[in-house]
Amino acid sequence: MSRPDQPRPLSGFPEWLPGERLAEQLVVDHLRRTFELAGFSPLETRAVEPLSQLLRKGEIDKEVYVVRRLHDDAHEAGSPDVAEPDEDALALHYDLTVPFARYVLENAGRLEFPFRRYQIQKVWRGERPQEGRYREFRQADIDIVGRDTLPFHHDVDIAQVMAEALSGLPVPPITLQLNNRRLIQGFYEGLGIEDPAVVAAVIRAVDKIDKVGAAGVRQILVEQEGIPGPVAEACLSLAPIRTADSSFVEQVRALGVKSDLLETGLAELAEVMEGARAVASDRVQVVADLSIARGLDYYTGTVYETRMGGFESLGSICSGGRYDALAGDGRTTYPGVGISLGVTRALGPLFARGFVRLNRPTPTYVLIAVPDEDQRSACRTTALELRARGIPVEVSPSAAKYGKQIRYAERRGIPNVWFPAGATESGEAEVRDIRTGTQVSAAAWRPDADDLAVHFAG
Amino acid sequence: MSRPDQPRPLSGFPEWLPGERLAEQLVVDHLRRTFELAGFSPLETRAVEPLSQLLRKGEIDKEVYVVRRLHDDAHEAGSPDVAEPDEDALALHYDLTVPFARYVLENAGRLEFPFRRYQIQKVWRGERPQEGRYREFRQADIDIVGRDTLPFHHDVDIAQVMAEALSGLPVPPITLQLNNRRLIQGFYEGLGIEDPAVVAAVIRAVDKIDKVGAAGVRQILVEQEGIPGPVAEACLSLAPIRTADSSFVEQVRALGVKSDLLETGLAELAEVMEGARAVASDRVQVVADLSIARGLDYYTGTVYETRMGGFESLGSICSGGRYDALAGDGRTTYPGVGISLGVTRALGPLFARGFVRLNRPTPTYVLIAVPDEDQRSACRTTALELRARGIPVEVSPSAAKYGKQIRYAERRGIPNVWFPAGATESGEAEVRDIRTGTQVSAAAWRPDADDLAVHFAG
């Protein structure tokens, strides 16, 4: 075993170096700015929820981290403390949707609906760690929730805002994939498949097309679900449809299947496509992809997924959709639509491959050289003046020879060194850009507006 | 028992309304900007640490939250899973100092020293909740850590940067209280008290002066510690010294006690005072307060505490000091100096009393009214154009009568409503400031630069 003083990383709990954390902050800043420009309010919920609430929501029981006071553990071993039963039933949230739904129910009387919020927080899942899969990771969610009703047009807002947000990130090109549960279900209805259990089984079977091939899916549908051969083949005809515009509508209509629900789904997907395409770019492409099946079990209308170019093995890094009942308390139902970006899931693999670069890895723009310790107080005054001008600055930690102080700045990635008056050839204070060697009078020196703040490079 | 669908707050786990969260974000933004201007790098550590590491650090064992995978609980009940012993020994961090020390040891080879970092994160403690005491709360820490040595002058940096940070917060006036462990210990040395255990006992006894009075402290020192009466009285003579400048030096010297350590402590405290006073204001006052005793047990030199005017019962909302060994691995020692601001501890009571006000409680600056649903797509285009100009905007959720849409903006606190072309008397698009009723042509309208972003008011 390792010594108690020898710390080691915990698998699945990534931590960044300071420069990586700067990059992550820039990503979060950009997301936050985009969401706020679109009128989403910030929200943060506590890290814990009652375990019983988390377990009610799905098949996630093996992934939940239970939280207990050590004090209570001691009680359990001896005399059970029945005075604090709730203490025994807390767990870390595994997503931001369940806590948000609970928050909406708890604060419904103090919120205005439709309520649009964003939430950027860590979540925890006890999954087996691998690339892009962590036990602690940050998500960035936007959701719009209504009371009793939520007009469809909000589905368009969500696609548009997340497409805008993704456009501004220093990540490989993203494909936003759109589908609609009503379209799929309506198509199967038109084929005569109406039993919800069979619809779900067909969706699951068609989702296996990459693994077992069209013939394999057809076999499952016929042999396990008792679907007639020609109908089974028709079920397969939606999956290949993938269009960058609304032409999917004609392609579906050409299949000759008809139902009201199918028409609703087609109209909704066409409208979301139109809205998302209005903000598409070479950084974010939008496709209607009728093979998207994951999530159709949870969602009731629009479904969003994404792929990151060159990182397709990560799966969808940003997913969501429409819920007819995001939350409900028996009296009131709160429908919602939202999407969640896996910030850590996307950045972790990008950091590992050196994909994200900054103009410098530290906030500091200027290091003030210290001629000798007696002048440190004067150097500090200069630092205060520069900070008041919005220039990130620190005073050299030692009054070593200037060469050594310059090398310290180089190692830290600080681009400029300020030499105080009296310690230069001119006798005046001077500033050197140590990347270029250019040295100018401090009185004439101005920070480069494009370089002053830390930003993404290249 | 309450119904499973009826959520309720968890005592000690505060959650803010959207407007409060906006305010908290502004506070964190200001802290972050101040810290980065002073060259502190951002850092974030995982939420969990090995339980054994947390318990080694102090008497916090009853306050720690242990974290376990639910899956592992199941294993424990049946067949213990010895393959993952670490899973059984994780706990949520209760501060940001222990994780930072561990991070420094783990990443020492990839960091430049002295390393200055800030860290703004949630921490968890199983304390009994009360005003300003929470089980989940946000802290904002700055620390500077050296390898083997860390020059004293960094103690001045820390005081200066936190004083600057506190100056810009929308909180009641803050008093930054400074003391120095070497000063106290050197004074007792000069009195002939050199046994560290007795020094610690004297510090604890003098700290009780508010409760038991000078006579009571004298009695403890004489009867429990066997200190001669006149020496015991001399021990009490430091505590009343409290000065807003360096005159504490003369007051201490006038007591006629001498030791080298005392001189070092006096010089250090005078220098920290001088640095902090350079950034003092009517919002942040600085005092040398020789009665500050809490923390002297942990710290080895400078000690920082603070009081918030009108909220003295909260105790110190921002504390820290110098450690001779923040971290160490047996080969190398990492001395450090730092300070930690209790963001939630300060904001919680201020929110509860309505102390923190914003110009508006939502990011949105403009609501675009929708004349009818057919025009929603055009309204959306207008919204994209305004966002590209940096104006936070949302499209009205319904095409109800304009009066209803305006009332929606009012309830949300959105200050302006945009009426599209064709739906106004002039036929042109117009913008109304619904607080003043002023309505102007949209073409001529410009956002008020002082009002566009959410900011603190009053």
- Which residues in B102-187 belong to E strands, given as ranges? 115-124, 136-145, 174-180
Cβ within 8 Å, pair A70-B68: no
Interface test with A, best of B115, B153, B164, B404 (most A CBs within 10 A): B153
Provide, rounded to the nearest whole percent, the portion of chain A with pLDDT above 70. 94
Please report the sign of the dihedral spanned by the C-alpha atoms of residue A95, residue A139, residue B105, residue B134: negative
Q: What pLDDT is attached to residue A313?
A: 93
Report the pLDDT averaged over residues B36-62: 86
For residue A390, give how far its alpha carbon lies from the nearest alpha carbon of chain B (Å): 7
What distance in Å separates the CA atoms of residue B85 and residue B402, rounded to the nearest whole number? 64
Q: Which residues of B touch A99 (CB under 8 A)?
A: none
Q: Which of A399-413, B40-54, B83-97, B211-225 has the lowest mean pLDDT?
A: B83-97
Q: Which of A1-5, A66-70, A341-345 has the lowest mean pLDDT?
A: A1-5
Flag whether pLDDT at A294 surpasses 90: no
Arithmetic mean of pLDDT over chain A = 92
Number of Cα atoms under 13 Å in the Cβ half of residue A79? 1
Flag whether pLDDT at A4 surpasses 50: no
Tell which B residues from 410 to 439 touch A, by Cβ distance under 8 Å.
411-412
Q: What pLDDT is attached to residue B8?
A: 82
Flag whether pLDDT at A211 surpasses 70: yes
Report the pLDDT averaged over residues B67-86: 55
Provide, rounded to the nearest whole percent, the portion of chain A with pLDDT above 90. 84
pLDDT tier for residue A172 given thresholds of 50, 70 and 90: very high
Flag whether pLDDT at A87 surpasses 50: no
pLDDT tier for residue B83 given thresholds of 50, 70 and 90: very low
Q: Which of A161, A170, A388, A175 is nearest to A292 (CA)?
A: A175
Cβ count near A458 (within 10 Å): 7
For residue A402, give how far its alpha carbon lies from the nearest alpha carbon of chain B (Å): 17
Flag whether pLDDT at A60 surpasses 80: no
Q: List the A90-92 sheet strands across, edge first.
A: A48-50, A90-92, A65-69, B65-69, B90-92, B48-50
Report the pLDDT averaged over residues A258-276: 97
How far is the CA of A34 from the CAs of A28, A37, A281, B191, B387, in angstroms? Answer: 10, 5, 16, 64, 9
Point out the residue among A17, A91, A408 whose CB comes nearest to the CB of B110: A17
Flag whether pLDDT at B81 surpasses 70: no
Segment A92-143, tens digit of pLDDT? 999 999 999 999 999 999 999 999 999 999 999 998 998 889 999 999 999 9
Q: What pLDDT is attached to residue A173?
A: 96
Contact B58, A61 (CB under 8 A): no
Q: Which of A57-71, B7-21, B226-240 has the lowest mean pLDDT?
A: A57-71
Look at strands A430-433 and A416-419 and give their pairing.
Answer: antiparallel
For residue B295, give how far its alpha carbon lies from the nearest alpha carbon of chain A (Å): 24
Tell which B residues from 312 to 351 touch A, by Cβ distance under 8 Å.
328-330
Contact A48, B10 (CB under 8 A): yes
Report the pLDDT averaged over residues B98-108: 96
Q: Which residues of A touch B92 (CB under 8 A)?
A: 67
Flag whether pLDDT at B76 surpasses 60: no
Residue of chain A with shortest Cα separation from B454: A36
Cβ within 8 Å, pair A47-B47: yes
Q: What pLDDT is attached to residue A86?
A: 46
Q: Which residues of A touch B272 (CB under 8 A)?
A: none
Q: What pLDDT is attached to residue B127?
A: 87
Cβ within 8 Å, pair A38-B4: no
Q: What pLDDT is attached to residue B13?
A: 97
Cβ within 8 Å, pair B70-A48: no
Q: Which residues of B touch A41 (CB under 8 A)?
A: 18-19, 21-22, 362-363
Segment B266-285, tens digit of pLDDT? 999 999 999 999 999 999 99
Cβ within 8 Å, pair B21-A9: no
Residue of chain A with shortest Cα separation from B278: A381
What distance in Å separates the CA atoms of residue A160 and residue A172, rounded to the nearest whole number? 19
pLDDT tier for residue A388 given thresholds of 50, 70 and 90: very high
Provide, rounded to the nearest whole percent, the portion of chain B with pLDDT above 70. 94
What distance in Å separates the CA atoms of residue A146 and residue A337, rounded to the nearest whole number? 9
Flag whether pLDDT at B85 surpasses 70: no
Arithmetic mean of pLDDT over chain B = 92
Flag whether pLDDT at B79 surpasses 80: no
Interface size A-B, in CB pairs within 8 Å, comes to 247
Q: What pLDDT is attached to residue B255?
A: 97
Interface test with B, best of A153, A164, A360, A377 (most B CBs within 10 A): A153
Contact A359, A449 (CB under 8 A): no
Report the pLDDT averaged over residues B387-396: 97
pLDDT tier for residue B216 given thresholds of 50, 70 and 90: very high
B406 interfacial to chain A (CB closer than 8 Å): no
Q: What pLDDT is attached to residue A57?
A: 63
Flag whether pLDDT at A84 surpasses 90: no
Segment A180-192, tens digit of pLDDT? 999 999 999 999 9
pLDDT tier for residue B55 given thresholds of 50, 70 and 90: confident
Cis peptide before B114 (omega within 30 of 0): yes
Cβ within 8 Å, pair B380-A278: yes
Instruction: Kindly report the pTM of this predicted structure.
Output: 0.94
Q: Quick check: helix, strand or coil at residue B170?
A: coil
Report the pLDDT averaged over residues A421-428: 90
> Does the predicted interface ipTM exceed a cut of 0.90?
yes
Q: What pLDDT is attached to residue B57?
A: 63
Q: What pLDDT is attached to residue A319?
A: 97
Flag whether pLDDT at B73 surpasses 70: no
Report the pLDDT averaged over residues A277-299: 91
A156 interfacial to chain B (CB closer than 8 Å): yes
Which residue type sits at B286?
Answer: V
Residue with tokens 């050196």: A354
Residues making up chain A, counted from first to last: 458
Q: Which of A312-316, A320-324, B208-212, B272-276 has the lowest mean pLDDT?
A: B208-212
Q: Which residues of B touch A8 (CB under 8 A)?
A: 106
Report the pLDDT averaged over residues A29-47: 98
Contact A191, A184 (CB under 8 A): no
Q: What pLDDT is attached to residue B52?
A: 86
For residue A203, give how far its alpha carbon lies from the nearest alpha carbon of chain B (Å): 30
Selected residue with higher pLDDT from A130 and B346: B346
For residue A100, give every residue at least 6 positions away whose Cβ sits within 8 Å of its Cβ, in sequence order, or none. A43, A45, A117, A119, A141, A143, A145, A326
Interface test with A, best of B15, B45, B455 (most A CBs within 10 A): B15
A18 interfacial to chain B (CB closer than 8 Å): yes
Selected residue with higher pLDDT from B207 and B411: B411
pLDDT tier for residue A458 given thresholds of 50, 70 and 90: confident
pLDDT tier for residue A62 given thresholds of 50, 70 and 90: low
pLDDT tier for residue A296 given thresholds of 50, 70 and 90: confident
Report the pLDDT averaged over residues B187-197: 94
Provide, rounded to the nearest whole percent, the portion of chain B with pLDDT above 90. 84
Burial grade of A243 (CB within 10 A; 0-12, 13-18, 19 or more): middle
Cβ within 8 Å, pair A278-B10: no
Tell which B residues from 28 to 67 touch A, by Cβ distance under 8 Å.
36-48, 51-53, 56, 61-67
